[in-house]
Amino acid sequence: MDKPRVLFLCTGNSARSQMAEALLNKYGKDQFEIFSAGLEPKEINPLTLKVLNEAGIDTEDLYAKPLSTYLGKLHFSYLITVCSNAEEKCPIFPGMGLRMHWPFEDPASFEGSEEGKLEKFREIRDQIEARILAWLDELGISYSI
């Protein structure tokens, strides 16, 4: 039986959606096929990769992808927007199951020192991780920490 597919969507596919994809893969890769994309993809923010590596997640296979990579080509059981811009601008497309919105602050918009920026990326990573674990609990899916 096919696993349900999950697509995390944000504007640039450079921070939040990448974190969500990587973290759900960490806890739910046996239960889901997990993807991420951006409405206007740009290069992954180096701090995204840094905070994921700090959490023990291999980032070698992560790269930014446009929504058009999947639009009309794959059925998704879950479409989860992780920024308000994506929630407002994401088209409705065939093959989409349940659509959810998990808004997270954009860590890349934080202004401050390099250490302050890194702390903001860690904060958002931890918020996304907590939301994913809560969702897995809601679904009754067991995972190991």
Residues annotated as catalytic are 10, 83, 90
Question: DSSP code of 66?
Answer: B
- Confirm if 59 and 49 have CB atoms less than 8 A apart: yes
Amino acid at 55: A
Q: Output the six-digit token pair for 81.
A: 């927007």
With CA atoms as reference, report the closest residue to 17 among 104, 109, 137. Answer: 104
Report d(CA 122, CA 133) in Å as an integer. 16
SS3 call for 74: coil
Judge residue 35's burial from the number of C-beta atoms within 10 Å of its C-beta, 0-12 exposed, 13-18 middle, 19 or more buried. buried
